């Protein structure tokens, strides 16, 4: 391997925690301070852009430079707090974890009490990925996600910022992004969990809203995606992806004759599938319980090209066709 091809060690690869990311957020935001305007104009401008992009999430625009700021880390256990004179940016920072308990509401109320003469602007800052942000948005937080941050950092790279801290973090975040997008250029048989997450995140934008996450089972678990929920008198029917399997499922809320419900919906799905081009069959083994697979597609639902690379459009067409069966 030549020196040009070799990638130098990246300190952020060895410090991937949220605390490290907190520090970088504080560091970059501090460069927006007007006193650094002449010291390092390029970093200053990107710091200003960074803060303005977060303010824009709350529909706030600033003319000219960002005012002098006070930046606090782990203030009241809040990851980052940025005091911008008239506004307070409350930043809850996540990498691969997600919100828990009532932390978002508590943080917001704490700052609103402390800074009662200023506007508190909550930001949910995540560079990893999670299945659903509804609970975050309901609490009044605006999303600042990996693509938002990369857009800021890429502006700095295009402006030839030479600072090694900046460049190293950009490369680190770009590699995370590439891992999530690896499903686009890896044969489907070689996907890892990050690739599956990236694929499922794209599905959320292209088929009916769903959820995804890790599902534990005795075989070691899988990354699943579930959507197309239809409530019936005796159960809820829905679709679920289990790695390469497309499953038609039922969820029974109360004690019932599980076998009777399962067999009934197996017959319904098979009958409805006859009007489509999908070959739906009985699963290898019928389950018995509150969640049961009643039918499956007879092959991998992921359409590929001659190199085994995903054909996303054709794959989405298959999933939409499966949705029609349940409807």
| pLDDT given at position 1 | 43
| pLDDT given at position 4 | 52
Token pair listed for 289:
């319980």
Check: CB of residue 286 under 8 Å from CB of residue 292: yes
Token pair listed for 179:
């891992």
Those residues whose C-beta lies under 8 Å from the C-beta of residue 27, and which sit 6 or more positions away, are: 165
| pLDDT given at position 220 | 80
Q: What are phi and psi of 108, to 5 degrees?
A: -65, -45
Q: What is the 3-state secondary structure (H, E, C) of 16-85?
A: CCHHHHHHHHHHHHHCCCHHHCCCCHHHHHHHHHHHHHHHHCCCCCCCCCCCCCEEEEEECCEEEEEECC
pLDDT along the chain (327 residues), means of 10: 61 76 96 94 96 96 83 94 94 80 91 95 94 92 97 97 96 95 96 93 85 85 92 92 96 85 95 94 89 95 97 96 90
| pLDDT given at position 66 | 80
The secondary structure of residue 115, as a DSSP letter, is T
Token pair listed for 82:
């940025």
Q: What are phi and psi of 91, to 5 degrees?
A: -115, 115
| pLDDT given at position 5 | 53
The CA distance from 92 to 104, in Å, is 8
| pLDDT given at position 100 | 65
Token pair listed for 146:
């990996």
Q: What secondary structure does DSSP assign to 174-187, as a single string?
A: HHHHHHHTGGGTSB
Token pair listed for 9:
């060690």
Report how far apart, in Å, the C-alpha atoms of 78 and of each of 18, 94, 103, 169 are: 12, 12, 9, 22
| pLDDT given at position 55 | 96
| pLDDT given at position 248 | 97
Q: What secondary structure does DSSP assign to 260-281, as a single string?
A: HHHHHHHHHHHHHHTTSS--EE
Angle at the Cα of 294 from the Cα atoms of 293 and 297, rounded to 5 degrees: 85
Residue 249, beta-bridge partner list: 238, 293
């Amino acid at each position: 391997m030549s020196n040009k091809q070799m990638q130098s060690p990246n300190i952020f690869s060895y410090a991937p925690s949220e605390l490290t990311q907190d520090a970088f957020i504080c560091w970059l935001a501090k460069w927006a301070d007007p006193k650094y305007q002449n010291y390092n104009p390029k970093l200053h401008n990107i710091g200003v852009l960074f803060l303005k992009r977060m303010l824009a999430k709350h529909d706030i625009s600033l003319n000219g430079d960002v005012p002098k700021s006070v930046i606090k880390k782990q203030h009241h256990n809040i990851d980052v707090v940025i005091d911008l004179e008239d506004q307070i940016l409350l930043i809850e920072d996540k990498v691969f974890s997600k919100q828990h308990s009532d932390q978002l509401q508590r943080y917001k109320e704490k700052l609103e009490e402390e800074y009662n003469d200023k506007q508190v602007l909550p930001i949910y800052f995540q560079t990893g990925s999670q299945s659903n942000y509804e609970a975050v948005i309901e609490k009044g937080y605006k999303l600042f996600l990996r693509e938002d941050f990369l857009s800021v950092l890429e502006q700095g790279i295009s402006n030839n910022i030479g600072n090694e801290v900046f460049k190293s973090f950009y490369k680190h975040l770009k590699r995370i992004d590439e891992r999530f997008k690896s499903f686009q250029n890896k044969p489907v048989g070689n996907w890892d969990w990050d690739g599956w997450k990236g694929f499922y995140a794209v599905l959320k934008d292209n088929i009916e809203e769903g959820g995804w996450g890790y599902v534990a089972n005795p075989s070691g678990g899988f990354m699943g995606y579930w959507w197309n929920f239809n409530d019936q008198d005796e159960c809820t029917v829905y679709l679920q992806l289990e790695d390469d399997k497309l499953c038609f499922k039922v969820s029974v809320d109360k004690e019932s004759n599980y076998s009777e419900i399962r067999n009934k919906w197996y017959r319904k799905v098979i009958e409805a599938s006859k009007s489509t081009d999908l070959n739906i069959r009985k699963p290898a083994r019928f389950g018995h319980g509150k969640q049961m697979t009643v039918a499956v597609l007879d092959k991998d639902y992921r359409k590929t090209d001659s190199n085994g690379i995903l054909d996303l459009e054709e794959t989405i067409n298959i999933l939409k066709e499966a949705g029609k069966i349940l409807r």
